[in-house]
Structure formats: structure tokens, C-alpha cells
Amino acid sequence: MLSQNQMEEIKVENKLEDITGFTCVYVPVSDVYKAAQWYETNLGCKLREGDIMEPGMTGAIMRFPDANGNPHGPTGPVPAMFLLPSGPEGGRLGFTWPNGERQAVGCFITPRIQKLFERFKSNGVNIVDGIRVTCGPNLQFYDPDGNMWEVWEPSPEEINFDENAEDITGICCFYVPVRDVYETAQWYETNLGCKLREGDKMEPGMTGAIMRFPDHTGKTQPFGKVPAMFLLPSGAEGGRLGFSWPDGDRQAVGCFITPRIQELFDRFKKNRVSIVDDIRITCGPNLQFYDPEGNMWEIWQP
């Protein structure tokens, strides 16, 4: 007969976490066809199998390949880039610091940043300075529409890449602009279940917070299946994550994966989260919502 502790361990092992992944990032572009070509040329992602790359496209799902050249699926380790038509007046991904400098929306992981840097230079990509070394070599750049990204190469101690690893192996984090880091960190913990990085202290006056999502055992990992949320102080005038369609409706910046959308919906309602409509059924049940700062997210149950 199993002991009580053994039974509890089995329950934990069999319970999926609330957030199990990140399926896609929604990217506003003025010309989907040209943007899709740019992302394929510079970041190596490919148009979804069966779709046609052609002028006049009204959307493009770009998937990153694995080490064998096969595209990752909707629940794979690298989120897809979902390119959507939106004029520049609808906003672009990234936000502005009080000093006027721009901040990338998210950070890709690569095993070969120098190769990407040389490719970017050869292709005339708009690069912010050169390769910086802050927590490892990293590089900030813009796509042709002004969406700002970062790419970072971990040390061998952090990630031991296979020699055949693809150019982009994941997304490390999303940078989230907030006015009060402490209050927003509590909100993300309460509603999405992510935890402050181990060793950091949750307290008023925080100047930044790295929030990581736990696995099914309740433990967090530096490079788990879900990108971390890096909360950074920025006034509302610096912009918020998401963008606007031509009709004025807002679009989320990206989509989390959950095995229990109804449970999250009920939690959100109880906690008075700003929800956009109810659960919708488009490619499966999904839900759009805002954090207290106006950053817009989506959640989807496969």
C-alpha cells in the first residue's frame, strides 16, 4: 500500500500546470507578404505547411524549425510568429523607457549569436548598436515595421546546445512594461501562477521582477516551456503590449497554452480581471484579457 506522501507525489506528478506553454506571438505588420519573407530570411522561420507565400496575404503563421528542419507544432518549444496586417498608427511591439529609448518586446534564444549578427548586417537589418554583453552576449534589432526584438546566447553552463541545434531554439522572456512592479508581480502570481525568481524578494519599490512559470511539480526553471515575464517600470506614455486593428479593436501580443481554460476563466472573473468577452471558440476555446497595466494577452486550450 502506498504511503500518504507517495500518493501526494503521484497527484502532483499527474497534475498539469495551469500554463503549459506559449503558442504564438502576434506581430503587427504593414505588408504580410514582405514581412514573412523578412522573418524567413533573417530568423529562419517558415510559413506554415500548406500555406502559400504570395502578395496580398492577409496573415501568415511562421513556425521555427527544429534541429532536423521540421517545423515546431502549435505546442512546441518555440512560439510561432503570427503576422497580422495593421497600420503603424495601431502601434508596434516594444515600449519606450522614460528617457525615450525603446525596449524590445521579447528575447529569442540562439546558440550562435555571432552568425546571426553577421547575417543581420549582410541583410541590412536595423540593429541597435552591436553585440552587448549583459547576462551573456545579446543583440537588439527591429523588423522592417518597427517591431523590436532581442536575441541572446546563453553560456554553455546555462544551456548545453547540440552542435546541430537550430538558429532559434526558444524565447527566453517577454519584457512587460508596468508602473508598479510590486503590485503587478502579485497580480501575475495570483492570476497566472508564475513565481518570482528564486532568491529575489517580493517587496514594494522593486525596480524589476522576473516571473517564471512552474512545471507540474511546482518548481520553476530558468529555461522552462513557458517564457518568463520580465516586469519593467515604464509609465503609461511609453506604450503597452498589444496593438490595434484598423477598426480600433485591440489585439493581444501573444497566446499562452492551458489545459483548463474554464478554471482560469472562473479565476479571472472572481479576481475581477479585465476580460474581453467570454471564452470564444476559434481554433479551440480561447480567452483574451488585460493585466492591470493594459498589456493584452490571450490564452488557448488545445
pLDDT at 59 over 50: yes
94 found inside a domain: yes
145 found inside a domain: yes
The pLDDT tens digits of the residues spanning 222-270 come to 777 899 999 999 887 778 999 998 888 899 999 999 999 999 999 999 9
83 found inside a domain: yes
Q: Helices marked H in 20-141 — which ranges? A: 32-43, 113-123
Confidence at 10, pLDDT banded by 50, 70, 90: very low
176's grid cell:
512587460
Tally the C-alpha atoms within 13 A of residue 88's C-alpha that lie toward its C-beta: 4
16 found inside a domain: no
Q: Which pLDDT value is given to residue 9? A: 39
Span 41-46, average pLDDT: 96
The pLDDT tens digits of the residues spanning 272-289 come to 999 998 999 988 999 999
The pLDDT tens digits of the residues spanning 247-259 come to 888 999 999 999 9
1 found inside a domain: no
Length of the chain in terms of residues written: 302
The pLDDT tens digits of the residues spanning 112-148 come to 999 999 999 999 999 998 999 988 899 999 999 999 9
Which residues, including other chains, have CB under 8 Å from residue 258's CB and lie 6 or more apart?
18, 19, 20, 264, 299, 300, 301
Which residues, including other chains, have CB under 8 Å from residue 137's CB and lie 6 or more apart?
113, 114, 131, 152, 153
Span 160-170, average pLDDT: 87
Question: What is the pTM assigned to this prediction?
Answer: 0.92
257 found inside a domain: yes
Q: Which pLDDT value is given to residue 124? A: 97
Which residues, including other chains, have CB under 8 Å from residue 76's CB and lie 6 or more apart?
63, 64, 66
Q: Which pLDDT value is given to residue 218? A: 85
**Domain span including residue 278:** 21-300
38 found inside a domain: yes
Which amino acid type is present at position 255?
A: C
The total of structural domains in the chain comes to 1
Q: Which of 71, 24, 23, 75 has the alpha carbon at shortest distance from 50?
A: 71
199's grid cell:
532568491
Confidence at 164, pLDDT banded by 50, 70, 90: confident
Q: Cell numbers 501575475 label which residue?
A: 188
Q: Domain of 200: which CATH number? A: 3.10.180.10
Which residues, including other chains, have CB under 8 Å from residue 279's CB and lie 6 or more apart?
261, 262, 265, 285, 286, 287
pLDDT at 14 over 60: no
Mean pLDDT of the chain: 90
Span 201-213, average pLDDT: 95
Confidence at 15, pLDDT banded by 50, 70, 90: low
238 found inside a domain: yes
Span 176-186, average pLDDT: 96
Q: For residues 270 and 285, what is the distance between their CA atoms, to the nearest angstrom?
A: 20
